[in-house]
Amino acid sequence: MAEATIEAPGVPKRKTPVGTIHVVDPHPLNWLHITWNTMEEPVRTDAQGHLIGAAMGESRWVDDRTLQVHMRPGVRFQDGEECTAHSFQRAFEEVQKWRAPHPPGTSLNFQQGTKLELIDDYTLRMHFPEPDGLVLGKFRGFHIPSTRFWNEIGFGYKKRGSGEGHW
């Protein structure tokens, strides 16, 4: 198949998107597919399903209850705002308010009592009350939008005024 993208002059590796496709996705998780195609998370999955860094460049366990996260520099939301540790913090504060912010269950919730410590604009630490070996997987469902998203739109629980599992 011929290469479908075109090198834009003067910008290495930047390719100009070309073409339009029409998709019919009857999968019941279509809403999640669209979310994953349009929103940042700390991690995403590669074609084989393995977790790889996305908005998060890297992470390391400082001890078994403290995860240090380095946000990837240069990530910008569609509205131009930079995605930083502050964006992570806002998203954390928004979801942590609710008992069941992720339909249809609570397995993606961060532990109650988890504290966030900002080290600098790109670095933060998550302090868990108990070791959380599943936190990197939970990051797959931890959407990090811009400030405008939270202030003007929000997820379903902002619209409905409840994040208590009305699924």
Partner 1 sequence: MSADPFVAIWLDTRQDRSPQVVLEANTDHWNRERGPRLEKVVFRNDLTPQEALRLVCESEGEVDIVTEVSPADADRVKSSQYAHLVSTDAMRVLLGIINRDAAPFHDVRARRALNLAVDRRRLISDGLKGYAYPTAGLIPHYCAGYNPDLKPYSPDPQEAKRLLRESGYPEARPLVLASLPGLDGLANLLANDFRDALGVQVQVVVIPESDLLAAQHSFVEKVIPAPFDVLLFAWFDLSSDAPAAFMHSWLYHSMGPFRAGPPVGEFEQLLAQYARQTDQRELNRLDQEMDRLAHEQALSLFLCAPQALYAVNRHVKFVGHAATFEVAETEVDEGHWSRRGG
Question: Per CB under 8 A, does 159 bind partner 1?
Answer: no
- What tokens were used for 94? 């928004």
- What tokens were used for 125? 């630490």
Helix (H, G, I), strand (E, B) or coil at 111: coil
Q: How far apart are CA 50 and CA 34, in angstroms?
A: 19
Residue 30-69 contact track with partner 1, rule CB under 8 A, x = bound: x-xxx-xxx------xxxxxxx--x------x--x-----
Q: Contact at 8 Å (CB) between 55 and 42?
A: yes
Among 7, 58, 78, 151, binds partner 1 (CB under 8 A): 78
Residues linked to residue 100 through DSSP beta bridges, in sequence order: 164
Name the minimum Å distance from CB 167 to partner 1: 6
Which positions lie near partner 1, rule CB under 8 A? 1-5, 13-27, 29-30, 32-34, 36-38, 45-51, 54, 61, 64, 72, 74-76, 78, 80, 104-107, 130-134, 136-137, 140-141, 166-167
